[in-house]
Amino acid sequence: MSVAPQEGAAGTRVALEALRAALLTGDLAPGQRLVEAELAASYGVSRASVRAALMDLAAEGVVERIPNRGARVRVVTVEEAVAITECRMVLEGLCAAKAAERVDDEQVATLTALGERLRQDVAAGDPVAYSAHNRELHRLVREFSGQEVATGLLDRLNAQIVRHQFRLALRAGRPQVSLPEHLAIVEAIARRDPAAAERAARAHLVSVIAALQEPADG
């Protein structure tokens, strides 16, 4: 007995989560065509749900819709990724500063524990876990900042360069470079020092920009 595909808001949510995961891991590559019928069958949702999810991703700049030809994964060049990261640098610095002003003891403990997990990931040579914890750290800083406007802008910017971020995190030696940068952010927020937190966040993004500009095998 076949199971009816999920529809409506629930189906769209399932499709969005599946598409984001596939974009992150490279199962859907830049420039790849996105065929609604195939995606609907793969994710167990209706074509309408896939279409709605693709429209959301198009609004975020992750997918581009081509007249009479459907949709495809938008290609984001290194130059554009650098420009996006320059914008992130300002917004991430703001969020780090605001987080340092607002955090409570429980939130500090959460960030400190996450910093320890990042250390463990580097020690274990596990770049995939490091990448996941890296994203979680940035997400928590945004959440703890209470700066909803900056958070919304960052979500849109990050969605466009998620594949660049993932590939960068897996580059040999990169976690060892970014670990002390992340720990500096955590420590400044834990000290409730907004200026230091903003400097640390900006310094980290400067490092990301430099890494993006390096040859992939460099």
Ordered domains of the chain (ranges, CATH)? 8-73 (1.10.10.10), 78-213 (1.20.120.530)
Q: Which residue has the tokens 């670990």?
A: 179
- For residue range 58-75, what is the model confidence (pLDDT) as tens digits? 888 888 888 877 888 888
Find which of 9-13, 56-60, 79-83 is predicted with most confidence, using mean pLDDT.
79-83
User: Which H, E and C letters describe the chain, residue by residue?
Assistant: CCCCCECHHHHHHHHHHHHHHHHHHCCCCCCCEECHHHHHHHHCECHHHHHHHHHHHHHCCCEEEECCCEEEECCCCHHHHHHHHHHHHHHHHHHHHHHHHHCCHHHHHHHHHHHHHHHHHHHHCCHHHHHHHHHHHHHHHHHHHCCHHHHHHHHHHHHHCHHHHHHHHCCCCHHHHHHHHHHHHHHHHHCCCHHHHHHHHHHHHHHHHHHHHCCCCC
Point out the least confidently predicted range of 11-15, 28-32, 116-120. Answer: 28-32
- Per the listing, tokens 């960052």 go with 154
* Averaged pLDDT, 170-195: 94
Nearest-angstrom CA–CA distance, 169 and 120? 15
The whole-number average pLDDT for the span 7-24 is 84
Higher pLDDT pick, 152 / 217: 152
Cα–Cα distances in angstroms (integers) from residue 58 to residues 82, 162, 176, 189, 191, in the given order:
20, 14, 34, 35, 40
The region, left, alpha or beta by phi > 0 then psi within -120 to 50, assigned to residue 152 is alpha
What's the predicted TM-score (pTM) here?
0.78
In angstroms, rounded to a whole number, what is the distance separating the alpha carbons of residues 180 and 178? Answer: 6
Between 140 and 77, the more confident residue is 140
- Residue 6: the pLDDT is 67
Note the pLDDT of residue 158. Answer: 82
Residues 44-56 have a mean pLDDT of 91
Q: What is the pLDDT of residue 4?
A: 64
Q: For residue 3, what pLDDT is reported?
A: 56
Average pLDDT of every residue of the chain: 89
